[in-house]
Amino acid sequence: MQEFVAGRWVSRGGHRTFEPAPICRPWQVTDMTVQQLLSKADRELGRLDMYSTHVPNIELFIVMHVTKEATQSSKIEGTWTRIEEAVLDREDLPVEKRDDWEEVQNYIAALDHSVRALEDLPFSARLISDAHRVLMRGVRGAHKAPGQFRKTQNWIGGASIDDAVFIPPAAASVPDLMTDLERFVHDESIILPDLLKIALIHYQFETIHPFLDGNGRVGRLLIPLYLVDRGVLERPILYLSDFLERNRSLYYDNLMRVREKNDLDHWFRFFLTGVIETARKGIATFDGILSLQREIDERVRQLGRRAGTAATVIHHLYQRPSIDAAGVSEVAEVSLPTAYKLIGDLERLGILRETTGAQRGRLYLFHEYLALFID
C-alpha cells in the first residue's frame, strides 16, 4: 500500500472537509505483517464458521451474539444499555433507560432485516440505506432523514463544526463516493482478500459518513453482512463491536491515521487483530454454550416426568434468557400455578435466578447462559 493516498483536505469557508479518494481500483498488499495476520485471521474464522454447521439450533445462540453486538456497538455511540437489560421487555425497564433500550433493539432489528434481505438483494447502497432506516426508526435521530444520504454537511466530535475532530466530505460528494464503494464490493477484477476488502469498506464508509446520524452503527453492521454475503461465514457470528469498544481510542486513531498519513497498513493490522481476537472469543463462547447445555441437560433429568416441560422452557431461554411466570405458562403451555412450580424447580436446579426481589411481577434470568456473553 506504499502508493496509497487516502484523499485530500478541501478548505470550505472556515473549515476543511476530507474528500476521500475512490477505492474501486487495483490494490497490492506488500506488508508482510498484514499478510501474516491475514493468514491467522482466516484460520480463526474457519474454526469459528465450523460452529455454523456443527452446533444444533445455532440460530438460538446467534440471537444472543447479535444482542451483545448491539449493546457494544451502541455503547461506542454513548448508549448505555447492558446486555442484562437488552434481554428484558421494554416495560420491565425504568423509564429513563427505555430510549437507550430502543436503540439497541433497533440495531438487532436492522441486522436481522439486512441478513434476510441478502437473500434477495446484493450487498449494496440500497441494502445499507434500508438498514439505516430500520436502525433509526422511532429513536433519537429519527428526524434526520433515515435511509437517505445526507444533503447537508455533518461532522464528528465537537459541539459545532468549528471545533470538530473530523469533517467528512461535502454532501455533494456522497452519491459518487457510495457508488464507488458499491462498485468496489462487486468488482471481481480487484484481487484483494475479503477480510482486507471489508476492512477497507468499513474505513471508507466511516470516512464518507453518508448519513446525518447512525453512521458508526451502520458501519460496524456492514462487517458481518459482507462476510455472510461473500460466503466467508455461513451465519453472522463474527461481531467486532466488543473489540472496537474496548479499544475505542485506538479505533478512532487508526481511522484518522489513514486520512492524515495514508497509513492503510496500520489500519489493516488493527482490523485483523480484532478479527483474530473476536473469532477466538466466539469459539470460546460456543464451547461454553455446548458445555453448559450438557450440564443443564443432566440437571433437568432430575425432574423426571417434568423434564420434558422444563426442556421446552430452557430451549426458549437460549434465545431470550429472561422470563416471568406468564412467559413460562405460555412457552410450556401449562397453567399459571404449574408455571410457578416449574420456576421453583428451575430455581432449585440453579438454572433460573430471580432478579427483582419483589413479591409480584417477578423476573427470572438464565444467569449462567447470560454470563457467557458478559466479559
Give pLDDT tens digits for 82-105. Answer: 888 888 888 888 888 888 889 889
E strands within 46-178? none
pLDDT at position 2, please? 60
Whole-angstrom distance, CA of residue 9 vs CA of residue 7:
7
- All structural domains of the chain, each given as residue ranges with its CATH number in brackets, are 7-285 (1.10.3290.10), 304-371 (1.10.10.10)
Q: Looking at 39-48, 84-93, 264-273, 337-346, which range is the least confident one?
A: 84-93
pLDDT at position 87, please? 85
Q: What share of the chain is helix, strand, coil (3-state, %, to 5)?
A: 60, 5, 35
Share of the chain above pLDDT 90, in %: 71
Place of cell 458481518: 224
How far apart, in Å, are the Cα atoms of 356 and each of 92, 177, 352? 10, 50, 13
Give pLDDT tens digits for 350-368. Answer: 999 998 877 777 899 999 9
Q: Looking at 121-125, 158-162, 301-305, which range is the least confident one?
A: 158-162
Task: List the one residue out of 297, 302, 303 whose CA is nearest residue 318.
Answer: 297
Going by pLDDT thresholds of 50, 70 and 90, the confidence category of residue 189 is very high
Amino acid occupying residue 35: Q
